[in-house]
Amino acid sequence: MPTIAAAAAPADRRLTIGGVVVLTLGALDFGIEQGIVIPALPSLAAHYDASLIAIGWMVTAFVLASIVAVPLLGRLGDIFGKRRILLISLGAFAVGSLLCALTESIGVAIAGRAIQGIGAAVPPLTLGLARDTLPPALLSRAVGAVVGAATAGSGVGFLLSGFLVDRFSPAAIFWFLLGLAMLLIIAVVALVQESPVRARVPLDLGGAFLLATGLIALLLAISKGSAWEWTSARTLGLFAVAFGLLVLFVLVERRVREPLVDLSLVVTRPFAQAHVCIAAFGFAFFIAVILVPQMAAAPEASGYGLGLSTMQVGLLLLPTSIAAFAAGWLGGRIVDRVGPRALVAVGSVFAVVGYASLALAHDTAFELSAGSAAIGVAWGFVLTGIYPVVIRGSTTDKTGVAIGVNVVIRNTAAAVGTQVAVAVVSGAGLVNGFTAESGFTRTFVLGAAGAAVVLLASALMPGREGRPARSAPVPGG
């Protein structure tokens, strides 16, 4: 049975201000890990003597590993202590970075990125620690700080990527990540107290295996669908395998006494509403992250590209990072007053406007930066509205699992949205040897439509405390 809840924990087990800062920096590190590689992919291809298709697996491996790691390490955090597992996740960042920095083999570098993906459990673990060790009055602000840091980290990564590659070498990216991870490990040991909450339950390794293999098959099919053709035997076979494994996972989880993923955290209130919002969010909001840098870096001869360097692309994206951080900070301070429903709705409106503006006008750096910044505001508001619902809706011994499920849904939807976006852009064909501008325009419209779905789904979210959303019962709820 769980140990004493955080609210009853002794004062010396409460998270200090320094601890909150460290956890926020840990979330920032995760965002940097995600974003720093993307602008440097061409340089990394030359460094590892690999094709762009092969180098793209450095991104895919990170995503696949993160989807597996988040629920597994979230559960381990509930069992063995979130601070302890947080240190393991940061250690994975460090080990993976070291492998990528030392090797000249693309295969080893892909393995290194997969190990780094284990560190994707850092944000949910930090949120779980905040839930367990902070007074309730400070929880929303801590969530806002963590969300703002994680979302801003990707933009910081874009900026750092250009500086490190231009001034030093592609390998310098990974030496930087190694140093940052080591500093954070030291800071966590010194400043962050362990959570007093424990769940004395066995680890569901069978469920972990089925979830891992099912999601890997699904993401592999999505990521390779365009290259293999969507109707090929390999693609359809992988989709069939993924479906079978995930169905088997659900059947197993319904029968075991202590499942890795409690399905009640998926289909019952308030989790179902939060998951619907996060799925639509994941599908739509990552489109800009992929497309805006590509348009900014495309040659001017394309008719729409700006021909910017990696450093200039980072500067263009900097307002997005600032907007995401500011919105996360502000959202954490006002979510208890306005309610999650209003915060998610307002964020969705910003995203619809941002994507619409990108679809209509993307010929200058200002237009790209302004549209992307509006989506950054949406990012901070939407996540800060969703996460407190998940955290407060779960029992203290299942906080890590509840957050992990939400993150897995977001990452899976993001992978789907990214692949659909790439397919739309590729399907537009070439004009004078360059990707047709219409492909980007259509994809921005797709992003606006996805953000509109988030807006509609926000009606299902809880309002201010004591004023729940009026909606039809969720099946299983």
Chain segment 177-209, per-residue pLDDT in tens: 999 889 889 988 887 777 777 767 677 778 878
Helix-, strand-, coil-residue percentages of the chain, each rounded to 5: 80, 0, 20
Q: What rounded mean pLDDT belongs to the chain?
A: 78
Question: Residue 270: is the preceding peptide bond cis (ω within 30°)?
Answer: yes
State which amino acid sits at residue 158. Answer: F
At residue 466, the 3 state secondary structure works out as coil
Residue 103's pLDDT band (cuts 50, 70, 90): very high
pLDDT given for residue 144 in this prediction: 67
Residue 17 has pLDDT above 90, yes or no: no
Residue 469 has pLDDT above 50, yes or no: no
- Region of residue 258 (left: phi > 0; alpha: psi -120 to 50; beta: else): beta
Residue 335 has pLDDT above 70, yes or no: yes
Residue 119's pLDDT band (cuts 50, 70, 90): confident
Q: Which residues contact 380 (CB under 8 A, 6 or more apart)?
A: 144, 147, 148, 151, 323, 324, 325, 326, 327, 328, 329, 330, 331, 347
Residue 311 has pLDDT above 90, yes or no: no
Cα distance between residue 246 and residue 407, in whole Å? 17
pTM greater than 0.75: no
Q: What is the mean pLDDT of residues 72-80?
A: 81
Q: What is the mean pLDDT of residues 230-247?
A: 90
Phi, psi of 430 (to 5 degrees): -115, 145
pLDDT given for residue 473 in this prediction: 35
Residue 217's pLDDT band (cuts 50, 70, 90): confident
Q: Which residues contact 158 (CB under 8 A, 6 or more apart)?
A: 35, 36, 38, 39, 293, 313, 314, 317, 321
pLDDT given for residue 237 in this prediction: 93
Residue 226's pLDDT band (cuts 50, 70, 90): low
Other CB atoms closer than 10 Å to residue 189's CB: what's the count?
11
Q: Which residues contact 104 (CB under 8 A, 6 or more apart)?
A: 47, 48, 49
Could you tell me the CA-to-CA distances from 245 to 210, 214, 218 in Å, in that order?
A: 6, 5, 10
Per DSSP, what are the bridge partners of residue 434?
Answer: 431
Q: What is the mean pLDDT of residues 373-382?
A: 88
Residue 140 has pLDDT above 70, yes or no: no
pLDDT given for residue 243 in this prediction: 92
Residue 472 has pLDDT above 60, yes or no: no
- Region of residue 75 (left: phi > 0; alpha: psi -120 to 50; beta: else): alpha
Cα distance between residue 155 and residue 121, in whole Å? 20
At residue 388, the 3 state secondary structure works out as helix
Q: Which residues contact 352 (CB under 8 A, 6 or more apart)?
A: 448, 451, 452, 455
Strands 430-431 and 434-435: antiparallel
CB neighbour class for 366 (10 Å; exposed up to 12, middle 13-18, buried from 19): exposed
Higher pLDDT among residues 297 and 55, named by residue: 297
Q: Which residues contact 366 (CB under 8 A, 6 or more apart)?
A: none
pLDDT given for residue 12 in this prediction: 45
pLDDT given for residue 99 in this prediction: 95
Residue 368 has pLDDT above 60, yes or no: yes
Residue 2 has pLDDT above 50, yes or no: no
In 3D space, the residue among 373, 381, 410, 401 whose CA is nearest the CA of residue 143 turns out to be 381
Residue 240 has pLDDT above 90, yes or no: yes
Residue 148's pLDDT band (cuts 50, 70, 90): low
In this structure, which long-range contacts are made by residues 171-174, counting pairs with CB atoms below 8 Å and at least 24 apart in sequence? 171/47, 171/100, 171/101, 173/36, 173/37, 173/40, 173/100, 174/97, 174/98, 174/100, 174/101, 174/112
- For 402-440, the pLDDT digits (tens) are 776 777 788 778 777 776 777 777 777 777 777 788 888
Residue 471 has pLDDT above 50, yes or no: no
pLDDT given for residue 10 in this prediction: 43
Cα distance between residue 425 and residue 376, in whole Å? 22
Cα distance between residue 351 and residue 8, in whole Å? 40
pLDDT given for residue 6 in this prediction: 39
Q: Check if the beta carbon of residue 358 is closer than 8 Å to that of residue 408.
A: no
State which amino acid sits at residue 152. Answer: A
Residue 82 has pLDDT above 80, yes or no: yes
Residue 16's pLDDT band (cuts 50, 70, 90): low
Q: What is the mean pLDDT of residues 363-375?
A: 91
Q: Which residues contact 232 (CB under 8 A, 6 or more apart)?
A: none
Q: What is the mean pLDDT of residues 61-75?
A: 78
